[in-house]
């Protein structure tokens, strides 16, 4: 079984500011002194056969399993399916089990996930992931 434990580190940029050393005010942080941008991501762990875990600048950790992520795909196609009462996954042609083929950062504000069913138009913004996670009953 060719599981990939997380993405190779080269696929993600290093955090722009090393917050553990102190003494540096992060650029672009207009929220106020000492206030971490709650939608800034410091770590993203992608496990192609289980899900993703996102760690935010203020320490908040959001985890999502694959099916949850796939069903919550924010792209227009999947949202339209949901509005018609259909599910974006699994479709009749969907390979099982679901897995992530590729994941890459989309700018500094989101992650684009490519699924093994060929779907790749969903861009999960970090804000979306966080709000989604926080809205979920634990
Ligand atoms: Zn989609």
Q: How far is the CA of 79 from the centre of ligand 1 (A)?
A: 7
Q: How far is the CA of 119 from the centre of ligand 1 (A)?
A: 7
Q: How far is the CA of 75 from the centre of ligand 1 (A)?
A: 4
Q: What percent of the chain has pLDDT over 70?
A: 72
Q: How far apart are the first and last CA of the chain?
A: 31
Q: How far is the CA of 59 from the centre of ligand 1 (A)?
A: 28
Mean pLDDT, all residues of the chain: 83
Q: How far is the CA of 105 from the centre of ligand 1 (A)?
A: 16
What pLDDT shows up at residue 31? 47
Top CATH class of 4-9+39-133 equals alpha beta
Residue 55 pLDDT more than 60? yes
Q: How far is the CA of 113 from the centre of ligand 1 (A)?
A: 9
Give the residue with greater pLDDT, 2 vs 53.
Answer: 53
Neighbouring CB atoms inside 10 A of 46's CB total 22
pLDDT in tens, 7-41: 544 445 544 444 444 444 445 545 455 667 889 99
Q: How far is the CA of 121 from the centre of ligand 1 (A)?
A: 6
Which of 34, 43, 35 is closest to 16 using CA atoms? 43
Q: How far is the CA of 110 from the centre of ligand 1 (A)?
A: 14
Q: Locate 52 and state its tokens.
A: 């993703």
What pLDDT shows up at residue 34? 61
């Amino acid at each position: 079984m060719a599981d990939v434990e997380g993405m190779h580190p080269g696929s993600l940029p290093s955090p722009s500011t090393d917050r553990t050393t102190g003494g540096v005010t992060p650029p672009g942080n207009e929220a106020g002194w000492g206030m971490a941008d709650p939608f800034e991501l410091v770590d993203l762990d992608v496990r192609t056969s289980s899900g993703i875990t996102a760690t935010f600048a203020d320490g908040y950790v959001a985890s999502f399993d694959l099916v949850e992520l796939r069903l919550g795909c924010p792209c227009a196609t999947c949202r339209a399916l949901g509005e018609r009462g259909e599910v974006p996954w699994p479709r009749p042609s969907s390979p099982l089990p679901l897995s992530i083929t590729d994941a890459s950062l989309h700018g500094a504000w989101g992650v684009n996930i490519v699924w093994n069913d060929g779907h790749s138009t969903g861009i999960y913004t970090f804000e979306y992931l966080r709000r989604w996670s926080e809205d979920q009953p634990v």
